[in-house]
Amino acid sequence: MANSDIKYKWIISSLDAKISESGKKNVVYRVNWEYTARKGDYEVSKEGLSYLKYNPDSFIEYESVKKSDVVEWLEAENDVAQMQRGLADRIASKETPEKIKLIPEWY
């Protein structure tokens, strides 16, 4: 259940690249990412790895890669709507928790 009050954001922690492939340098093959959701004081996230296939027709030289390019790759490889539903559910459970941890005073 995605919620319009929730703000979602991609965080790209690193790009793993092959030094050389098909005559190209620094060919990105894996993206290490985190997808966060924030609503008010609540924030949750999902981390993952996405593997990319080299495509000579759409290859972008590493020096020219922008965050928007990487986000486009990630959104093509991941079910973003499903991720948003899962993160929204986790925020909802924080807003109205069903469980608590009790620590006895005699601990």
What pLDDT, in 10s, does the model give residues 57-100? 999 999 999 999 999 999 999 999 999 999 999 999 999 988 88
Which two tokens mark 59? 């290859």
Q: Would you state the pLDDT for residue 3?
A: 61
Q: Average pLDDT over the chain, rounded to whole?
A: 94
Q: How large a percentage of the chain has pLDDT more than 90?
A: 91
Per-residue pLDDT band for 1 (boundaries 50, 70, 90) equals very low
CA distance 28 to 54: 8
The torsion angle over the Cα atoms of residues 22, 71, 65 and 12, rounded to 10 degrees, is: -100
Determine if the pTM surpasses 0.75. Answer: yes
